[in-house]
Amino acid sequence: MFNQGMSRRHFMSHAAMGGAAVLGANDFLSHLHLNAAEVSKNRKACILIWLGGGAPTIDMWDLKPGSKNGGEFKPISTAGDLQISEHLPGVAKQMDVLSVVRSMSTREADHMRGAYFMHSGYVPNPTVVHPTFGSVVSYELGTKRKELEIPSFVSIGGGGMSPGFLGMSHAPFTVDAGGRIQNADMAGVDPSRLGSRLDMLATIEEGFIKSDRGDAGQAHKDVYSKAVNLMRSEQMKAFKIADEKPEVRAAYGPGQFGDSMLMARRLVEVGVPFVEINTLGGWDLHNDVFNTLKNQRLPLLDQGISALTADLKQRGMMDDTVVICMGEFGRTPRINQNTGRDHWATSWSVLVGGGGLKGGRAIGETDADGTRIISESYLPSDLWATVAYALRIPLDTVHTSKRGRPMKIAGGGQPIKGLIS
Amino acid sequence: MNRAVMTVVLCFGLASLYSVAGYGADDQFTTGSSDPLISFVNEQIRKGWEDNEIQPSDTADDAEWVRRIHLDVVGHVPSGKVVEEFMRDKDPAKRSKLIDALLADSGYVRNFTNYWTNTLIGRVTPDKTNRGALEKFLRESFAKNRPWNEIAYDLIAAEGRFDDNGAVNYLLAQLQLNADSEEYVVEATAKTARVFLGLQVQCTQCHNHPFNDWKQNQFWEFNSFFRQMQREDHEKYNATTGQMDDDYSELVHRNFDGPVYYETRAGLMLVAYPKYFGTEIDQGSETNRRLELAKSITKDDSNKLLAKAIVNRMWGYYFANGFTRPIDDMGPHNPSSHPELLDRLTDEFVKSGYDLKQLARWICNSEAYNLTSKFNSKNQIDNPANGEVPLFSHMYVKPMQVEQLYESLLVATAADSAGAGSYEGSQGAREEWVEQFKSIFGNDDEEGALYSGTIPQALLMMNGQLVKTAISGDKGSYLASVLSDPAYKKEPDRIRALYLASLGRTPSSSELKSMQGMMSKYPDKLSAYQDLYWALLNSNEFIVNH
């Protein structure tokens, strides 16, 4: 049950991640908008592949073969200007549209804090709960997609962190890799009865709304309408990966992760602007890092990402879909006595591309041992600013927290130049 | 007997006649309570109506009121039987008597244990915090009706193992950072000020407050009282047995003396000494700062902030709006809507010995608490949900809390009486259900009357297991008992019973006609009743506390 290399404590902290210190639903949000018309037309989306536990990026995206920190893997050439791990050959072929930011320096080497920081662009703070970026995208883009009947922030495999002050209606909507949404079907009851139930419900609800006690009654009715639309929507088919051609499904690879990646493509296709995938965890490799990567993690990751990218290209969706792959931090250049690597936030890499961003590039540089950054360094706020740029969300957008505090979108980060020009 | 005395005797006689009939002097509605403070409360609220030229809505009818008082005091809706009995009761003092009865009910203890556990440590229990032990501490406190200032003292001054001293979990929950970090006790500082004193100080960690007049140095002076505590986690895994030999946490004392250092935004390093509203305490290591703070806040309470904060909070609890909004942001920057009333209630609360049940009586016996939640044409401006200052000329609706929804579903299907077994057993079932809900209800804070429903919540109510069980027609189920009950001979009787059990009222004649019309289209009767009950339990009227 417990992933290899993850102690009980780490597992519990992952499980608690979703609910850490949530503050609350926000009723009053002030908001500055530019280019609203452009935003309403766009079909932009972002897919976040979350490597829970913090993956050893020095063995994946920024290899150091000459150094004592280099480990067992060798770099290989790709379709872009950089070299990546020999155990990601499929991704290597797709590197024309994907890039690697090699100079992430994020200081938070604790699982919960790192996850919070990487998801929201903000360091945890006792006075406010910042929204995870998926909730920001749901708020900015999802609310404008009137034809979208399913939720605008889907988390496959749970997790995804908190919507913070943006409110529970922008919380990640959880589904498992089998496409099952909890309570979305009337198990054991003839679906034709839904209509009659709703008629009776309408009679009672109208009466209450007409009794003039404020807006709560109508608000409840509206939420139920949305829920019923969800249950009856054609777009629900996006969750049914079994509908896909078997050869397409096979290309994504066996098991939950491949299925999740395929589901992500289908969700983006019907207009979901943010999908987070949490079905490939177990990257907290304090022990036996090379065998685990080589035999278990990397083959699945490789097949999933390369199939997704090829599929998006083939359907003409690549320029509208940002793909980003990262965990809460990287891992130590120094290999420990258990042939593993420990937490390391000082210098690590993130894979990012698509959505019109520049591909095939290595942005930022680390030294020969991988321990220091010798170029400009970047924070998650810069990553999310880059994603916002690609999704055409104005960077001067400001939200207001429940306590009246102005919060810049993407934590005030700047789009990474090497990815946008 | 001289004439003056005769007059007095006559007046007394007439006055008592009026209160027997359910009306006090001036023909005003009364719950039957003769506490003079309640007259003062009513006067003050009425003054607000006059000053703002509005008319109050009508008194809530028995059905509306009995449901509200149950939800607010004992955390669940009344059963259909209780509603019917209450409506039939002719005692003009029945409302005040019911208030007393519910305050003495075990539901009161459970309801406020839930409320305070959620307020103190949230719905999602932080790491290495013993929720059960905190609940036990609170349960015992409320069962004994301990004075609020003593409960607060225990929470602020707590020390020891988290299973031995449940109160310690309040502070433990706030200590999730590295103990060497400068920010280690920041959350505890901010939360203690907010929950116990009604002061929002968290912004002043880094700069003077933009809205109220708290300064950055005051934050750090307050913070310095918490520097002598530390969380200690004990974890020992036994590889042989596969069990944890040690798995507990405790709050221990650690040495700290002298000032706290903090930095202004300009980069200037300043010092702060333990000072609580002008009273400095010794900064040496022999002084237990936290005990001193606990004493100042709860035993001295010389500025009555502890009392005022809880009065405002509880008023806000019952009315969905306190005298200030938010309820925990009091000060000159956020003036109270009824300052004289708040001050008087505060004084009386202190005099009563910080008696929470007495405070509840003052609030629930007031005229305002007994009004309907419907607007009328003359009080449309009294709409706090729109940002207006509340005038309490009608009740404001509140969403049910998650735990209240669970308990109410049990009552609405008579499942609560059907042998729930040991306390732990039923608590376990409740926790499981709340678990499912809390991830989709989030950890909403206490204020605001807007229903923050989301799609997963709606799906859970529409298709989830609990409602499915509630509407089951199986042998032994609630519906089966209604359908086979000889007291309900005809369809309208049965429909009436279902309305009473869920909404706490009888259907209007047009509602009855509509329902019967829709039910006639069903090929089998059981499905018709199931769907009717489904609709009742899923309705806005069910889930809103009005």
H/E run at residue B51: helix B36-51
Query: Measured between CB atoms, does B388 come within 8 Å of chain A?
Result: no
Distance from the Cα of B189 to chain A's closest Cα (Å) equals: 10
Residue at B120 is within a domain: no
How would you write chain A as a 3-class SS string?
Answer: CCCCCCCHHHHHHHHHHCCCCCCCCCCCCCCCCCCHHHHHHCCCEEEEEECCCCCCHHHCCCCCCCCCCCCCCCEEECCCCCEEECCCHHHHHCCCCEEEEEEECCCCCCHHHHHHHHHHCCCCECCECCCCHHHHHHHHCHHHCCCCCCCCEEEECCCCCCCHHHCHHHCCEEECCCCCCCCCCCCCCCCCHHHHHHHHHHHHHHHHHHCCCCCHHHHHHHHHHHHHHHHHCHHHHHHCHHHCCHHHHHHCCCHHHHHHHHHHHHHHHHCCCEEEECCCCCCCCCCCHHHHHHHHHHHHHHHHHHHHHHHHHHCCCHHHEEEEEECCCEECCCCCCCCCCCEECCCEEEEEEECCCCCCCEECCECCCCCCECCCCECHHHHHHHHHHHCCCCCCCEEECCCCCEEEHHHHCCCCHHHHC
User: Which residue in the block uniquely carries the two structure tokens 């804090």?
Assistant: A113
Residue B42 domain boundaries: 30-107+304-396
Residues of chain A positioned with their CB less than 8 A from the CB of B205: 127
State yes or no: pLDDT of A366 exceeds 60: yes
Q: Are residues B150 and B261 in the same domain?
A: yes
Chain B residue with Cα closest to A228 = B459
Is A225 in contact with B454 (CB distance < 8 Å)? no
pLDDT of the residue at B414: 75
pLDDT of the residue at A42: 66
Chain A residue with Cα closest to B374 = A213
With vertex at residue A311, the alpha carbon angle to CA A310 and CA A317, rounded to the nearest 5 degrees, is: 105
Q: Are residues B183 and B261 in the same domain?
A: yes
Chain B residue with Cα closest to A11 = B127
Q: Are residues B99 and B146 in the same domain?
A: no
Cβ separation A183–B456 shorter than 8 A: yes
| CA A21 – CA A78 distance, rounded (Å) | 43
Q: How many CB atoms lie within 10 A of CB B282?
A: 12
**What are A183's two structure tokens?**
């309570």
State yes or no: pLDDT of A300 exceeds 70: yes
Q: Are residues B164 and B296 in the same domain?
A: yes
Chain B residue with Cα closest to A200 = B535
Query: Measured between CB atoms, does B105 come within 8 Å of chain A?
Result: no
| CA B383 – CA A29 distance, rounded (Å) | 19
Query: Measured between CB atoms, does A193 come within 8 Å of chain B?
Result: yes
Residue at B114 is within a domain: no
**What are A257's two structure tokens?**
């992760």
Q: Which of A116-125, A177-186, B425-434 has the lowest mean pLDDT?
A: B425-434
Q: Are residues B268 and B369 in the same domain?
A: no
Residue where a domain terminates, one of B243, B268, B300: B300
Residue at B123 is within a domain: no
pLDDT of the residue at B446: 35
Reading across the β-sheet that carries A348-354, which strands appear in turn? A173-175, A153-156, A274-277, A45-50, A321-326, A348-354, A98-104, A362-363
Q: Are residues B283 and B147 in the same domain?
A: yes
How would you write B17-31 as a 3-class SS string?
Answer: HHHHCCECHHHCECC
- Residue B3: is it exposed, middle or buried by C-beta count within 10 angstroms (0-12/13-18/19+)? exposed
Residue B280 three-state SS: strand
pLDDT band per the 50, 70, 90 thresholds, residue A25:
very low
Is B283 in contact with B273 (CB distance < 8 Å)? yes
Q: Are residues B149 and B251 in the same domain?
A: yes
Cβ separation B459–A182 shorter than 8 A: yes
- Say which of A204, A224, A403 has its CB closest to residue B541: A204
Q: Are residues B312 and B190 in the same domain?
A: no
In the predicted model, residues of chain B with pLDDT beneath 50 are 1, 9-26, 418-423, 444-451
* CB–CB contacts below 8 A, A to B: 192
Query: Measured between CB atoms, does B206 come within 8 Å of chain A?
Result: no
Residue at B122 is within a domain: no
The CATH class of A8-179+240-420 is alpha beta
Domain residue limits, chain A:
8-179+240-420, 185-238
Q: Which of residues 220-249 of A touch B (CB under 8 A)?
A: 220-221, 223-224, 226-228, 230-231
Residues A305-333 have a mean pLDDT of 97
pLDDT of the residue at B2: 56
- Say which of B438, B459, B540 has its CB closest to residue A183: B459
Based on the structure, what is the number of domains in chain B? 4
Cβ separation A403–B450 shorter than 8 A: no
- Residue B515: is it exposed, middle or buried by C-beta count within 10 angstroms (0-12/13-18/19+)? buried
User: Which residue in the block uniquely carries the two structure tokens 């010389």?
Assistant: B302
Residues of chain B positioned with their CB less than 8 A from the CB of A220: 451, 453, 540, 543-544
pTM of the model: 0.81
Residue at B179 is within a domain: yes
Residues of chain A positioned with their CB less than 8 A from the CB of B460: 182-183
Residues of chain B positioned with their CB less than 8 A from the CB of A230: 455, 459
Chain A residue with Cα closest to B211 = A404
State yes or no: pLDDT of A247 exceeds 50: yes
Q: Are residues B364 and B451 in the same domain?
A: no
Cβ separation B205–A211 shorter than 8 A: no
Cβ separation B186–A231 shorter than 8 A: no
What is the tens place of the pLDDT at every residue in B117-128? 999 998 778 889
What is the tens place of the pLDDT at every residue in B170-228? 999 999 888 888 888 988 999 999 999 999 887 788 888 877 778 888 889 999 999 99
Cβ separation A168–B374 shorter than 8 A: no
What is the tens place of the pLDDT at every residue in B390-414? 999 999 998 888 888 888 988 888 7
Residue where a domain terminates, one of B282, B300, B318: B300
